[in-house]
Amino acid sequence: MSHTIAANFMGEKRTISLEIGRRYEIKPMNIAKGKNIGRTCTLLALNEDFMPTEAEVIWDDTGRKGKIKDLTDLVCLDD
């Protein structure tokens, strides 16, 4: 199952396709967001089936589980 999310910030537009098991990099459109920039992760789960707002991930650098609160910060690496 995949989810598509559209984001717009200061004229920059981004469309994200989220799929469980794919790898993503954290690249926020808002440069003031400094948390986890440049880290890569694998998507494990989304908190809702209809309109997800959070994702559970496993970080590639540490192997630990974590959560992403803003799904628009994700950029797919598997393309």
Secondary element (H or E) of residue 3: strand 2-9
Summarised one tens digit per residue, pLDDT across range 26-42 is 998 888 888 889 999 99
Specify which residues 9 forms β-bridges with: 12
* E strand residue ranges, 20-71: 23-26, 40-46, 55-59, 65-68
pLDDT of residue 79: 62
59 has a pLDDT exceeding 90: yes
**Structural domains of the chain sorted by starting position, each given as residue range(s) with its CATH number in brackets:** 2-76 (2.30.30)
Q: Region 11-39: what's the mean pLDDT?
A: 89
The C-alpha atoms of residue 9 and residue 20 are separated, in whole angstroms, by 25
